[in-house]
Amino acid sequence: MIGPVADNGRGAFGARVAELRARRGLTQKDLATAVGRTTSWLSQVERGVQPVNRLDVLRLLVDGLGVAVTELRPDAPPDPAEPSPPPNDLDRARLVLSGHPALGTLLSLGERRPDPSLPELSADVERVWALAHSSRHAELTVALSALVPALERTTRTAGKRERAMSYGLLARTYQALSAAFVRQDEADAAWVAADRSIAAAEMSGRVLDVFAGTYRLAHACVWLKRYDQAEHVARAAADALERSVGESGGSDEKLSLLGAFHLVLALVHARSGNRADARHATECARRVARRMGRNRNDFNLEFGPTNVEVHAVAVAVDLGDAGEALDVAGQLDTAGMSTERQARFALDVGRAHAQLRHVDDAVERFLAAEQLAPEMVRSHTAARAAIRDLMLVAGRSASPELRALAERTDAMGQVASDGSVTHW
């Protein structure tokens, strides 16, 4: 966070935003879309009604306007250059998506390669999801590098009876790959993997797997900040599932998917600054979870009452409602969830503490997340931004634990031995 703007300063700040926006020839809708907020929110900012006290929101504004932070807020700390992204543990997996994965098979369809049997491939898919849920991305990319080409070949060489099963395994594998890419902030690759999972699911004849792939596609849209597309994808899927549940009754699998799409909508609205719709979507997910009555893991969604509240914490943090996030978090026990979900929950709680400038509590939660899933923390953009902000708040009084965390996550460039930032 940055220091609050006095009421009499909000008007000057808003007028400056409006001036710079007009200078660039942008409409309010143009700039609001660029920063992932609503036109109403931007209008309130420009009229001095809506304060901008969070550094991450200020960064979005200056990026949209193409100016330095200090040009909008002279009292803000100098905006550091974004540190270079950390090494990505899924770089080899990106190569799997590059080009066609079975060109040799297309040239010689009659030639059978010594690929694993379908039971062996099925076991490999289960292992891939276990690695994804544990955020063990380095191991995951090695496994996928062999599994995806093998499955792609098998779908083209298997007999008619086996083909549907092999396409089903391929769809689930691409879903795992898409989920992992999102967690590594590689949303463009996640989009490609999700799209391939949808195509494979249709070939398998498993209709609900099409929806599972569509869920991964919606998440890729969110991380690409294509909120209108994410909302369109999630809304269309949720509406179709609602109709199906109403007409033929709701299986647990359908309800898991329906609830998961409501959570995507909650995330979209939170990222767009639409508080009312974000809370409405979260409540819709709660109703579905109550109908199910227990936590499940259909399609590796981990949907259920606990997961809804975990998402409610994330939504509150994205909306800047840190106190609400901590109130919800204090009532949760995530011990039964996957390592990935527990780590993400710890990161969100840490972000909430960071918004309130509870430096020690924030560091404690970030360290807990790092112990669970170090690869995730290293690549989590919002967490790294929060750690940078903590370093700015703490300055020379930053604890050794905070300085070491910032160095491990490459969140703040280089820190001198006395704790001061030497460059970003």
Helices 381-394, 55-65: axis angle to 10 degrees equals 110
- What pLDDT was estimated at residue 347? 94
pLDDT for 84 equals 46
**Pairwise CA distance, residues 275 & 41, whole Å:** 10
Would the pLDDT of 331 be above 80?
yes
Tens digit of each residue's pLDDT (9 = 90 or more) over 130-145: 998 888 888 888 898 8
String of b and e for 201-213 (b: at least 16 CB within 10 Å)? beebebebbbbbb
CATH of 7-72, one of 1.10.3720.10, 3.40.50.300, 3.90.1300.10, 1.10.260.40: 1.10.260.40
Q: Please report the pLDDT score of residue 414 as a whole number.
A: 37
Q: How far apart are alpha carbons 297 and 289 in whole angstroms? A: 12
204-256: per-residue pLDDT in tens? 999 999 999 999 999 999 988 889 999 999 999 999 999 998 766 679 999 99
CA–CA separation, 95 and 340 (whole Å): 24
Residue 353 tokens, joined: 């503490």
192/174 Cα distance (integer angstroms): 9
Question: Higher-confidence residue: 325 or 103?
Answer: 325
Residue owning tokens 């709680």 = 349
Instruction: Name the CA dihedral angle for 339, 341, 345, 350, rounded to a multiple of 10 degrees.
Output: 50
Cα–Cα separations (whole angstroms), residue 135 to 177, 239, 378: 12, 32, 11
pLDDT at 257: 97
Torsion, CA 325, CA 327, CA 332, CA 337, rounded to 10: 10
Note the maximum CA span of the chain. 77
Select, from the ranges 257-261, 399-403, 416-420, the one with the highest average predicted confidence (pLDDT). 257-261
SS3 of the chain: CCCCCCHHHHHHHHHHHHHHHHHCCCCHHHHHHHCCCCHHHHHHHHCCCCCCCCHHHHHHHHHHHCCCHHHHCCCCCCCCCCCCCCCCCCHHHHHHHCCCCCHHHHHCCCCCCCCCCHHHHHHHHHHHHHHHHCCCHHHHHHHHHHHHHHHHHHHHHCCHHHHHHHHHHHHHHHHHHHHHHHHCCCHHHHHHHHHHHHHHHHHHCCHHHHHHHHHHHHHHHHHCCCHHHHHHHHHHHHHHHHHHHHHHCCCHHHHHHHHHHHHHHHHHHHHCCCHHHHHHHHHHHHHHHHHHCCCCCHHHCCCCHHHHHHHHHHHHHHCCCHHHHHHHHCCCCCCCCCHHHHHHHHHHHHHHHHHCCCHHHHHHHHHHHHHHCHHHHHHCHHHHHHHHHHHHHHHHHCCHHHHHHHHHCCCCCEECCCCCEEEC
Dump pLDDT digits (tens) for 68-114.
777 777 665 554 444 444 455 677 788 888 877 777 777 765 555 56
Can you tell me the distance from the alpha carbon of 421 to that of 414, in angstroms, rounded to the nearest whole number? 6
Q: Are the beta carbons of 178 and 220 closer than 8 angstroms? A: yes
Q: What burial class does residue 311 get, using C-beta atoms within 10 Å of its C-beta: 0-12 exposed, 13-18 middle, 19+ buried? A: buried
Model confidence pLDDT, tens digit, residues 21-55? 888 778 888 888 878 788 888 888 888 888 877 77
Residue 10 has pLDDT above 80, yes or no: no
> What are the pLDDT digits (tens) for 150-169?
999 899 888 888 999 999 99
pTM for this one?
A: 0.75
What count of residues does the chain have?
424
In angstroms, the Cα distances linking 3 to 44, 81, 82, 373 are 19, 20, 21, 32
Domain(s) labelled CATH 1.10.260.40 in the chain stretch across: 7-72
